[in-house]
Chains A and B, each alone.
Chain A
Amino acid sequence: MNLKIFKVSIVILFVFLLTMSSVAATCNIIVITDPSGKDPNGAAAGSMSFADNMFQSTFMMSKVNHFAVLSGGSGSSDTRLDSVIEAVASLSNNASAASAASIASNYQGARLITGGPSIGAAVGGSFDAYVITVNDASHEIKVTPYSSGVATLQPGEKGAIIHLRNTNGNPLYGTADSVRKDTAMNIGKMIRDGYPATTILSEAMGQVANQSGEKYGGGGVNLVSGISTDDMFTPKEMNETGYPMDEEYSKVCDDCGWAMGYPAAEAHDKCPVCGANIKTVYAFEALGDALTVSSNAVSVSAYGSDKPGLAETTTEVVEAAVAKYGYDSSAIANSINRAINNGLLMGVDHVEPKDINVKQGSKAVGVYYNALPGDRSSPSWDLPIDGNILNILGSIQTAVGIILILLVVFRSRLLKSFQNR
């Protein structure tokens, strides 16, 4: 009898160890604070891990259909990728978040978290997650643990899903359970207090990185505005870790706008431009800053020329014009033309109001430039005289001037030769 119990316990221990060793990686978080999709920062998602290879495929986003697919798990990278592609394909065909997340269970060891502002969110496959829901009317926070099947955050509900496990080799191994719970509670409180999803994501990722060591990016996405951190924090090479989210990312001067990234920024204690105190920005804060859209921001796109700096300067000029005159295409065209005349914008021709595409509803302005031919830096002048005539005139003048100099240099000799005649 004793022997039997011993055997059973051995088997249980063996199974336990087996599952332990296949437990891997990844903290995945998705936060939805505005299911209506009106708040530009109302939905965000992100992934990070202690493990290698947290490339952009672990936090994919559709800018058009506003959904994200976060992935992870212990399967091979190929099966994980297969499941991600299948989930993206089904979400593009208007599948529900839950049915897309359930795809993960068809793949060995994979996990998928899917969601968007309008479709809610769901987690499926192999996971240890908390689903957080916040009731709008009663401000009641509900935090429910799930670890099998498919756990969902219903469409239209405010809430979040956080999955967290520790990776083997992580010095903080074993902290995942408590950190997951703490972070889930904090996310719930922040949703209740009305913080935007991007801020909540950044804070939650900071907490997880600090306390559980699953800290290498990864990255995040803003689902409503379609912004991704792209390669800000992802690894540079295969089989490397990304940027640690709990470490310093850059130093910024609030007074004059000077900024410098680590490790070069380490040498600076004061702003080298204006001497003011500088603020250290940690990687998780940089993630929040990158994803958060300020409510009066204008999204500006410049087309027709890839000249360096053109898009950035255009954004500045258009933002100023919109702040001053509102969404008026002729006022914006005027401002851009003034900038071209001032030499602020180089290498493009003047624009007309019809070249400015204004969408006031989505706060977007598109500017269609015509690049100037050759190495020209500014548009051609409008003169009443033909350019060819001026060209000939200029050449003649130059020639006459040079002849005059020659005459002066050989003056005495010329005079003498005339006198001799």
Chain B
Amino acid sequence: MFIKIRRDTLIILLLAFILILCGRLITYVAFASSDEINDGIPISGIIIKGNDIVPVDTIRYNVMQAGFRDGSVIYGDILKTSKREVSLQDAIRSAQEFATRSTVPGTSVEPISTADVQVDKNTGVVTVTVIEDFSSVELKNKTSGGTG
């Protein structure tokens, strides 16, 4: 032995170790059993309804650009994203606008005429309902030629 340690010292050290360990364990159990939320509601997912030809991923990507993405948190009426803080109403309005800008992949066709965005403030679920209308699509005539 390098250091002379009396046996009772060792026992007390062991006791202290066990005490700290149990203390940390109980703190963890306290965390695991509490379901209080004190740091806002995170955006948990986007549900998209009503789309037909426009893929879900395109609409989801556009709605995420408005701030409703993983890592964004709702504090009351404020949406805090990784980039900035905006009011929830503004974010919903821009999400609706961005959703209507969704295109058919590989084209500039924007068939979504109206989009409705609902945010559940308790669960963080964003529900996007869109209406596709191909009869009202307007195409800007570009003069580029090409074959397909």
Contact = CB atoms under 8 A, between A and B. Distances in A.
Contact of B9 (A60, A74, A411): A411
Contacts of A304: 44-45, 47, 123, 125
Interface in B121-148: 123-125, 133-135, 137, 139, 141-148
B13 A408 contact: yes
Contacts of A393: 23, 26, 30
Given A56-B105, A57-B109, A397 B145 contact: no
B41 A77 contact: no
A14 to B, nearest CB: 21
A305 B23 contact: no
A305 B45 contact: yes
Given A387-B30, A401-B17, A76 B146 contact: yes
A6 interface: no
A382 interface: yes
Given A303-B45, A373-B37, A407-B12, A390 B29 contact: yes
B39 interface: yes
Contacts of A62: 52-53
A54 B26 CA distance: 61
A371 B33 contact: no
Contacts of A60: 53, 104
Listed residue (A52, A58, A85, A405) with the most chain B CB atoms within 10 angstroms of its CB? A85
Nearest to A54: B148
Contacts of A385: 33
A398 B24 contact: yes
Nearest to B6: A411
A200 interface: no
A381 interface: yes
Contacts of B22: 394, 397
B23 A398 contact: yes
Given A374-B39, A398-B24, A76 B33 contact: no
Interface in A38-96: 49, 51-58, 60-65, 71-74, 76-78, 80-82, 85, 88-89, 92-93
Nearest to B124: A371
A304 B123 CA distance: 8
A356 B9 CA distance: 59
Nearest to A308: B70
Interface in A283-325: 303-306
A414 to B, nearest CB: 13
Interface string B18-36: 1111111111111111111
B31 A305 contact: no
A266 interface: no
B69 to A, nearest CB: 9
A401 B106 CA distance: 65
B146 A77 contact: yes
Contacts of A370: 44, 123
A397 B124 contact: no
B19 A85 contact: no
14 contacts: A24-B148, A73-B147, A74-B147, A76-B146, A81-B109, A85-B134, A306-B46, A374-B37, A388-B30, A394-B23, A394-B25, A394-B29, A397-B23, A400-B19
Interface of B: 9, 12-13, 15-37, 39, 41-42, 44-47, 52-53, 55, 70, 104-107, 109, 111, 123-125, 133-135, 137, 139, 141-148
Given A24-B148, A391-B31, A395-B27, 11 more contacts: A53-B147, A53-B148, A230-B105, A303-B125, A391-B30, A393-B26, A393-B30, A394-B28, A397-B20, A400-B19, A400-B23
